[in-house]
């Protein structure tokens, strides 16, 4: 099982009854969509299961059939964000001509996720509510490892070692924080802060040139 699958499933286990039929799957997606809409409006901190039910046009009992509490809703939505963003990052890397342009593609994917993925600006991949077991790995570190593995699979010149993994983890954390900050007061994103975040990502991740 891949790290992405394992991380997503560890969060998905918070769902009370994992759906197996198409109708149940669609209902679960509708509940998560509703949660994402509410989070976009008021932030994840104030989200309640009652708000999810009302926005989805469902009963509170339906919500509790899938989620034991509001934290499970948040973590399940974060798991979906994780899967979607990692897939988008992989696609961006595969479509890049070289490892340097891939860094720009990764960055653009992260910014676009904030702009277009419902609920992502506030919740992101769940790092802000990272309630993993003590032995677990921080979710941002899992995303960073996925980036490293995708870069290594795509480009022969990418050397995977501890320095590389630490650089990508650091770069991802810095970029995630700055991009989130750029959208706090400006729905379009503070262009200066976004470009500064891009510069820092390159500075942190690119190997030194001799």
What does each of the 210 residues of the chain score in pLDDT, given as a tens digit? Answer: 444 445 444 544 444 455 556 567 889 999 999 999 999 999 999 999 999 999 999 999 999 999 999 999 999 999 999 999 999 999 999 999 999 999 999 999 999 999 999 999 999 998 888 766 555 688 899 999 999 999 999 999 898 999 999 999 999 999 999 999 999 888 889 999 999 999 999 999 986 554
- Cβ partners under 8 Å of residue 207, min gap 6: 159, 164
- b/e per residue 10-40 (b: at least 16 CB within 10 A): bbbebbeeeeeeeeeeebbebbbbbbbbbbb
Rounded to 5 degrees, φ, ψ at 75 are -70, -35
Residue pair 143/173 in contact by the 8 Å Cβ criterion:
no
Tell me what pLDDT residue 128 has.
85
Return the CATH number of the domain spanning residue range 3-205. Answer: 1.10.357.10
Q: How far apart are the first and last CA of the chain?
A: 39
What's the distance, CA 51 to chain centroid? 23
Please state, as a whole number, how many other Cβ atoms lie within 10 Å of the Cβ of residue 48: 16
Query: Residue ranges per domain, the chain?
Result: 3-205
């Amino acid at each position: 099982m891949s790290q992405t699958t394992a991380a997503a499933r560890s969060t998905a286990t918070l769902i009370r009854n994992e759906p197996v039929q198409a109708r149940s799957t669609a209902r679960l997606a509708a509940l998560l969509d509703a949660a994402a809409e509410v989070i976009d409006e008021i932030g994840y901190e104030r989200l309640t299961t009652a708000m999810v039910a009302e926005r989805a046009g469902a009963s509170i009992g339906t919500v509790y059939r899938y989620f034991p509490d509001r934290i499970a809703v948040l973590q399940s939505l974060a798991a979906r964000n994780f899967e979607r963003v990692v897939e988008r990052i992989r696609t961006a890397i595969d479509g890049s001509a070289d490892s340097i342009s891939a860094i720009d593609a990764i960055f653009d994917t992260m910014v676009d996720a904030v702009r277009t993925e419902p609920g992502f600006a506030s919740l992101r991949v769940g790092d802000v509510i990272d309630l993993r077991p003590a032995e677990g790995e921080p979710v941002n570190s899992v995303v960073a490892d996925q980036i490293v593995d995708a870069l290594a699979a795509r480009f022969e010149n990418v050397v995977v070692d501890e320095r590389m993994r630490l650089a990508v983890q650091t770069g991802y954390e810095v970029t995630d924080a700055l991009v989130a900050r750029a959208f706090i007061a400006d729905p379009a994103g503070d262009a200066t802060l976004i470009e500064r975040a891009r510069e820092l990502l390159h500075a942190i991740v690119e190997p030194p040139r001799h």
